[in-house]
Amino acid sequence: MKIELSENKVFFENNGSKKEIHPFWLRERVNGENYVDKSTKQRLFDPTELNGNVKIKNVSLSDKFLEIIFSDGIKTKLTIQSILNEFSNINEVKFIKKIRWDSSLSNLNNFKFNHNFFEEKIMYEALISFYKFGFVIFKKVPTEKNFIVKFANSIGSIRRTNFGEFFNVKSKPNPNDLAYTSLPLAPHTDNPYRNPVPCIQLLHCIENEVSGGYSTLVDGYTVTEKLKKDYPDYFKILTEIKVRYQFIDKDVVLEDWSEMIKLDENQNFKQVRFSPRLDFVPLMDKEKLNLYYAARNKISELYNSDKYRLEFKLTPGDLLMMDNYRLLHGRTSYDTNEGNRFLQGCYIDYDSTEGKLKHLKRKFNF
Ligand SMILES: [Fe+2]
């Protein structure tokens, strides 16, 4: 990638293709204290009030800088690097390559908590690990009640739902969700009926005295790739049919329609939703429904198979942070007579982890 000049025009060259950079694009990026706020990098002028036909009157290029005088008399000195950065995805978390895993994964991405670590390099490393594997486990997090809220708000901002700021996972009488029983929970994603679905779940173990109640995780990305390779028809229908997910209680009716496997604009993995107790496929031709049901059975079989399911015990002080768009989670059953099992959970969204990651990257100059 490089910048070139020709007859008062600026060109951007990448992989043999050369394109002119619009003069107004450069005019919008005029810097200096009269034009850009030093700390927020917000413009101190409104570009929609400028003449869009602005031209370049004079331009010079050196190794590090591009100096321009525009036809409206404004001068600026831009670093070449700042221009090149806008053409790369270096600031995107997409540069972190996902690592697929199955039940053979032995590294559980453990990071030890300390009270200052939200601003330390270890948090940067933990977040990178989170984006690679879809989860991390923080150890020795204080087991004070509701500490989860403080924790979540130290990474970003908690995502409040109709369950409140956080929720308590323990068996209770008359539960409005299976999570609040001692029954086993098959791998699922949380809250597929919300728009948008909460991106990340935090689960903090406060007490765990029972011998069962193991936590389970499945990499939805690994399973999706397996389905795509071995069962392309199933993969196709699950990426095409929009299913209705719903949650109903006495206060609210929540519904959202989505494909069970959602792909991004480049047809790559984006999100899975799986919660077969609350999904409703639309009425379609019998043949199409036959294929859909076979596909859902197959993906359920894969999600529930020993090959893909990681099983481990959360002990008091463990805080599991998992990507609810990529991973499925569940737990094995337990016996309430053996003692207490008490977890607290909450949600945050990607803007929290992305914002923190970019902040730490800037802070440590990574
Ligand atoms: Fe859940």
CATH of the domain at 70: 3.30.2020.30
- The per-residue pLDDT string of the chain (366 residues; one tens digit each, 9 = 90 and over) reads 889 999 999 999 988 889 999 999 999 999 999 999 999 999 999 999 999 999 999 999 999 999 999 999 999 999 999 998 887 766 678 889 999 999 999 999 999 999 999 999 999 999 999 999 999 999 999 999 899 999 999 999 999 999 999 999 987 667 677 777 888 999 999 999 999 999 999 999 999 999 999 999 999 999 999 999 999 999 999 999 999 999 999 999 999 999 999 999 999 999 999 999 999 999 999 999 999 999 999 999 999 999 999 999 999 999 999 999 999 999 999 988 888 899 999 999 999 999 999 999 999 988
What protein residues have CB closer than 5 angstroms to ion ligand 1?
190
Check whether residue 271 and residue 355 sit in a common domain: yes
Q: Are residues 167 and 302 in the same domain?
A: yes
Position 337 scores a pLDDT of 85
348 Cα: distance to centroid of ligand 1 (angstroms): 14
Q: Are residues 58 and 194 in the same domain?
A: no
Ligand 1 centroid – CA 175 distance (Å): 14
Quote the number of domains for the chain. 2
The answer to whether residues 154 and 118 touch, using CB atoms and an 8 Å cutoff, is yes
- Do both 292 and 326 map to the same domain? yes
Q: Which amino acid is at 195?
A: N
Instruction: Show which of 67, 85, 103 is a domain's final residue.
Output: 85
If you measure from the C-alpha of residue 11 to the centroid of ligand 1, how many angstroms do you get, rounded to a whole number?
Answer: 51
The whole domain housing 76 covers 2-85
Q: What spacing in Å lies between the alpha carbon of 168 and ligand 1's midpoint?
A: 12
Report the pLDDT value the prediction gives residue 171, as an integer from 0 to 100: 76
Taking the alpha carbons at both ends of the chain, their separation in whole angstroms is 21
Tell me: do 139 and 259 sit in the same domain.
yes
| Burial (Cβ within 10 Å: 0-12, 13-18, ≥19) of residue 193 | buried
d(CA 260, CA 49): 45
Chain center to CA of 229: 24
Cis-peptide into 196, omega within 30 deg: yes
CA of 180 to the centre of ligand 1 (A): 10
For residues 134 and 158, state if they share a domain: yes
> What are φ and ψ of residue 139, in 5° steps?
-100, 155
Does 228 lie in the same domain as 81?
A: no
For 63, counting Cβ atoms within 10 Å of its Cβ (0-12 exposed, 13-18 middle, 19+ buried), the class is exposed
Same domain, 115 and 75: no
Tokens at residue 160, please? 């409040």
Looking at the structure, tell me whether residues 37 and 178 fall in a common domain. Answer: no
Distance from residue 190's CA to the centre of ligand 1 (Å): 5
Q: Are both 57 and 99 inside the same structural domain?
A: no
Ligand 1: centre distance to CA 273 (Å): 12
Ligand 1 centre to CA of 324 (Å) is 9
* Cα–ligand 1 centroid distance for 128 (angstroms): 24
CA of 178 to the centre of ligand 1 (A): 9
| Spacing, Cα 313 to ligand 1 middle (Å) | 16
CATH of the domain at 205: 3.60.130.10
Report the predicted TM-score, pTM, of the whole model to 2 decimal places: 0.91
User: Where is the domain boundary, 60, 85, 110?
Assistant: 85
The reply to whether 68 and 114 lie within a common domain is no
Which of residues 85, 110, 143 is at a domain's end? Answer: 85
Residue 283 CA, ligand 1 centroid: distance in Å: 28
Considering the domain architecture, whether residues 229 and 127 belong to the same structural domain is answered as: yes
Close Cβ partners of 180 (under 8 Å, ≥ 6 residues apart):
169, 170, 171, 172
